[in-house]
Amino acid sequence: MKKAIVILLHLLYWFLVVIFFLKYFELDLGFIVKEKNDFFWPVVYGAFFNAVIFYGTCFYLIPRYLNSNNRQKFYFLAFMGFLVVTFAENFIDIWWIKEVRTETYNTATPSFVFWTTWFFNAVINLLYYLFAFGYRLPIDKRAQERREAQLEKEKLAAELKFLKAQIDPHTLFNGMNSIYHLIDQNPEKAKDTVLKFSDLIRYQLYECDDDFIELEQEIKYLNNYISINKIRKEEDATINVDISQEVDNVWVAPLIFTAFVENGFKFLSSHSEPERNVLNFELSNDDDFIYFKLSNTIDAGVEIVQENGGIGIENTVNRLELLYGESYDLEYGMKGGEYQVYLKLPVRKNNHSPPNRATGKK
């Protein structure tokens, strides 16, 4: 349907060109005489030669040679095409003047007739070369943008698959270790932890294939992750969790908070006094944004470095760039003896609409 509309618009354009020249244009040579209507066929075949220049350049020379960096061949063929079309049109013009406007042809010198018609045809044909570039370049730009968007989408999909395959070995070993110790101490809690651990692995492997998922699912994953890790840390640290439950119809990129949560537990300080080891999680949202905050005390001299395995901060930042562009805020680093993370994401209301593009500071 769209292609048919484009074809109709092009036909309408050439029809209007013919009408314009027939109604408003005259040459001093005298072979354009509106009263006798002897300018009709020159306008028609003139429009045909203009169309040859336009469509040949737009849909053959530019995509085949210019866009493939074969510029020399493009310029050569464009120049030769210009000469062939212009001289062919000029030859027909001179024949038409000679046959239809014999009196004018006989009173003018042959060189005057030749160079006047050639100059007129050359100027018009050059204009259509420019029209071809003006028409084609935006098309190629849009096509390039679509290709880049598709490549980014494919890269993101591959990256997410890679991330899902990188289940942090610390999560596996620590989770299994926590369950092992609970089996004798608290069998019921051990069973509950096994279910949470199973849900955690299932989610990370199978339930986050889309670019965006419901925030409710991501919160359930985070709660399970935090709950399992708290089994090991809770006696030696103060862990505060404040996660909003008002998340109806809010969507977020899956596993986008995981790297920060992993690091929060991994690099939590190990002071002998439990009250000095503090880990705070906060996740909330309003109509426009999702807010994630994390802070944890850290031992003096410890540098936070992402080890092999796991969903690293660098990968997370790459995913934020691909999925949210410039519409997110992310700040992380040491501040006041704590490692702090602040992430603000635009709210999505479903899995298909683009994110809110409110610009933030990164």
| CA 294 to chain CA mean position, Å | 30
Give the mean pLDDT of the chain: 80
Distance CA 110, CA 124 (A): 21
**Domain-embedded: residue 300:** yes
pLDDT of residue 79: 92
pLDDT of residue 35: 45
The pLDDT-based confidence of 31 (bands split at 50, 70, 90) is: very low
The pLDDT of residue 246 is above 90 = no
Token pair 């294939």 in the structure block, residue: 209
pLDDT of residue 7: 87
Distance CA 216, CA 251 (A): 8
Better-predicted residue by pLDDT, 67 or 60: 60
Q: In this prediction, what percent of the chain has a pLDDT beyond 70?
A: 82
Same domain, 131 and 270: no
**Domain-embedded: residue 225:** yes
Query: Of 122-126, 205-209, 250-254, 284-288, where does mean pLDDT reach its minimum?
Result: 205-209
Distance CA 213, CA 187 (A): 33
DSSP SS3 for 350: coil
pLDDT of residue 148: 85
Residues whose CB falls within 8 Å of the CB of residue 189, separated by 6 or more in sequence, listed in order? 182
Token pair 């670019």 in the structure block, residue: 211
Same domain, 81 and 123: yes
Better-predicted residue by pLDDT, 61 or 158: 61
117 phi and psi, to 5 degrees? -65, -40
**Domain-embedded: residue 361:** no
Better-predicted residue by pLDDT, 34 or 63: 63
Same domain, 110 and 183: no
Same domain, 174 and 222: yes
pLDDT of residue 249: 83
Same domain, 174 and 322: yes
Q: Which residues pair with 241 in a beta bridge?
A: 281
- pLDDT (average), residues 30-50: 68
**Domain-embedded: residue 86:** yes
pLDDT of residue 161: 67
**Domain-embedded: residue 143:** yes
Same domain, 206 and 69: no
Domain closes at, from 154, 182, 213: 154
Q: Encode pLDDT of 285-296 as tens digits.
A: 988 899 999 999
Same domain, 341 and 222: yes
Residues whose CB falls within 8 Å of the CB of residue 171, separated by 6 or more in sequence, listed in order? 200, 225, 228, 262, 310
278 phi and psi, to 5 degrees? -125, 135
Distance CA 157, CA 319 (A): 10
Whether residue 164 contacts residue 205, with contact meaning beta carbons closer than 8 Å, is answered with yes
pLDDT of residue 164: 57
pLDDT of residue 341: 96
Identify the CATH number of the domain in which residue 175 sits: 3.30.565.10
Domain closes at, from 154, 181, 201: 154
213 phi and psi, to 5 degrees? -130, 170
Q: In this prediction, what percent of the chain has a pLDDT beyond 90?
A: 25
- pLDDT (average), residues 105-126: 79
Residues whose CB falls within 8 Å of the CB of residue 212, separated by 6 or more in sequence, listed in order? 251, 252, 253, 254, 323, 348, 351
**Domain-embedded: residue 314:** yes
Domain closes at, from 103, 128, 154: 154
pLDDT of residue 279: 95
Q: Is the dihedral of CA 98, 103, 108, 113 positive or negative?
A: negative
Same domain, 149 and 228: no
The pLDDT-based confidence of 28 (bands split at 50, 70, 90) is: very low
Spatial CA neighbour of 57 closest among 79, 90, 88: 79
The boundaries of the domain holding residue 339 are: 166-346
The pLDDT of residue 63 is above 50 = yes
The pLDDT-based confidence of 167 (bands split at 50, 70, 90) is: low
Same domain, 91 and 184: no
**Domain-embedded: residue 72:** yes
The pLDDT of residue 310 is above 80 = no
- Total domains, the chain: 2
Q: Encode pLDDT of 174-217 as tens digits.
A: 677 777 777 877 888 888 888 888 888 888 777 877 778 899 99
The pLDDT-based confidence of 22 (bands split at 50, 70, 90) is: confident
**Domain-embedded: residue 218:** yes
The pLDDT of residue 53 is above 90 = yes
pLDDT of residue 56: 92
Same domain, 226 and 125: no
Same domain, 241 and 148: no
The pLDDT-based confidence of 168 (bands split at 50, 70, 90) is: low
Same domain, 150 and 87: yes
Q: Encode pLDDT of 325-361 as tens digits.
A: 889 999 999 888 899 999 999 988 765 544 444 334 4
